[in-house]
Structure 1
Amino acid sequence: MTTIYEAAGGMEVFERLAEATHQRCLADELLNHPFSHADNQPDHTERLAAYWAEALGGPATYTGARGGSESHVQRLHAGEGAYMEEASPRFVQCVVDSFDEAGVPDDDRLRQALTDYVTWSALGPFLAWGRSADDVPDDLPMPRWDWDGPAAVNGPRGAVTPG
């Protein structure tokens, strides 16, 4: 079976999607602040693209070559509960609004899977560690998403939420 990553068109599409999303977030008054600070990391959109690609069945570039970890990502967003509750739906909309510009194939099943993944990741794991970065374990598994939703990674489906 084809992965979501493959169906979307591979890394080039995810790189364009991350860049288009980033630009939309910069133009949004609520999302501008955190995304304007992302420019302090010149490879922010490449890292975001690699993260999405890996989570959706692509190569392990984010956790491998880029040295990223799920724990690091969760620590970046820990303690932002109220902000994330308001910002997450707007972030999801920025991603969805970027599909055409990024060249995401006009396939309803694919676009729904991407939308479901971004919604789940923005409203689930990123809100799970609401108090502090100190609450985030060091060894969180990279979440995986397939056509049926969160896929098992070293534990039950959706294993990135706190116990």
Structure 2
Amino acid sequence: MTTIYEAAGGIEVLERLAEATHQRCLADELLNHPFSHADNQPDHTERLAAYWAEALGGPPTYSQQMGSESHVQRLHAGESAYMEEASPRFVACVVESFDEAGVPDDPRLRKALTEYVTWAAMGPFRAWPSSSDDVPADLAMPRWGWDGPLS
């Protein structure tokens, strides 16, 4: 069976999606602040695309070369109040970027991508509301399939 990563068009499409999303976040008053710090990490969109790729059935580039799930969770930990408002807006930025990024106009694919981003933004990225010190060191990269989270 084809993975979501393959159906989306691979890393090239996910890189365009990450870049288009990034630009929308920069233009959003609430999301601008964290996304404007990308100067400190100029490969932010490449890293985001690699993370999405791995989570959606692509190669393990993110966890082998860029970071761990624990690292990603620490970046978002302790931001509970902010994430409550920011998460749905981030999801909207991703979804609004589908056409610009060249995500195939396949309803099943777009539904799966939207469900993944919503799940990630509303769940795992809000799992550590108090402090990055609460994040375990050995979190596994969450995987997402056509029917939702994979075990």
TM, length-normalised to structure 1: 0.92
DSSP 3-state at the match of 2:129:
coil
Structure 1 unaligned regions, length at least 5? 153-163
- Residue 118 of structure 2 is aligned to residue 123 of structure 1: no
Instruction: Give the superposed CA RMSD.
Output: 0.5
CA–CA distance in 1 between the matches of 2:15 and 2:65?
Answer: 16
What is the one-letter code of the residue matched to 1:31? Answer: L
CA–CA distance in 1 between the matches of 2:3 and 2:18?
Answer: 19
In the alignment, which residue of structure 1 is the partner of 2:111? 112
CA–CA distance in 1 between the matches of 2:18 and 2:34?
Answer: 15
1:40 Cα deviation from its structure 2 partner: 1.2
1:110 Cα deviation from its structure 2 partner: 0.2
- Residue 71 of structure 2 is aligned to residue 72 of structure 1: yes
In the alignment, which residue of structure 2 is the partner of 1:144? 143
In the alignment, which residue of structure 2 is the partner of 1:16? 16
In the alignment, which residue of structure 2 is the partner of 1:36? 36
CA–CA distance in 1 between the matches of 2:144 and 2:38?
Answer: 25
**Bigger fraction of residues in helix:** 2
1:15 Cα deviation from its structure 2 partner: 0.3
In the alignment, which residue of structure 1 is the partner of 2:59? 59
Q: Deviations over 1:39-66 (max 9, x none)?
A: 2101000000000000000000000122
In the alignment, which residue of structure 1 is the partner of 2:134? 135
Aligned length: 151
Q: Deviations over 1:1-32 (max 9, x none)?
A: 00000000000000000000000000000000
In the alignment, which residue of structure 2 is the partner of 1:159? none
- The share of aligned pairs that are identical, in percent, is 84
DSSP 3-state at the match of 2:62:
coil
